[in-house]
Amino acid sequence: MAATRAELFACLDNLGIAHTTMAHRPVFTVEEGKDIKAKLPGGHTKNLFLKDKKGALVLISALGETPIRLNRLHKVLGCVRLSFGKPELMREVLGVEPGSVTAFALINDVPVNGQNQVRFVLDRAILDHQLVNFHPLKNDATTTIASTDLVRFATATGHAPQMVDFAALHDD
């Protein structure tokens, strides 16, 4: 059963993570939410749910403007070619709908045989921002937390992030 927004906020509270949330119309792309982002401080993110050809699952959280070269990323991550995960798989593993992918969905990744199903990859540039913004499990609101608290949250859910400098990948 996927966590509710209230359960997510309770988790953040239990971890001592300060958070603020602004409700807004549902947004499905980085572009659609430009006017909303203008009202919120901090780094704004995009999140990609990916699957490699062997079935490994990856959640990437990056700054909205960061280019992500999927054709090169698999080499950096040491996996095989990556493609977008199917919506059904996203619902099953992360408990969110397309357009609502978020680092906060890591709360829903239930370990199988003692291991989380999703590998969490974080854009190193996110840590250049004191505050970062993510959908709180649904795309009709945005929750702001400290970037260092994002790392704490991910680690607390068993997903210590793998930091990747996506800007360096783009320069190759």
pLDDT in tens, 144-155: 999 999 999 999
Architecture of the domain delimited by 5-171? Alpha-Beta Complex (3.90)
- Is residue 171 over pLDDT 60? no
pLDDT at 36: 85
**Cβ-based neighbours of 52, under 8 Å, separated by 6 or more:** 58, 74, 79, 80, 81, 82, 83
Question: Would the pTM of this model clear 0.75, i.e. be above it?
Answer: yes
Chain segment 38-61, per-residue pLDDT in tens: 889 999 999 999 999 999 999 999
Q: Where are the domains of the chain?
A: 5-171
- Is residue 172 over pLDDT 60? no
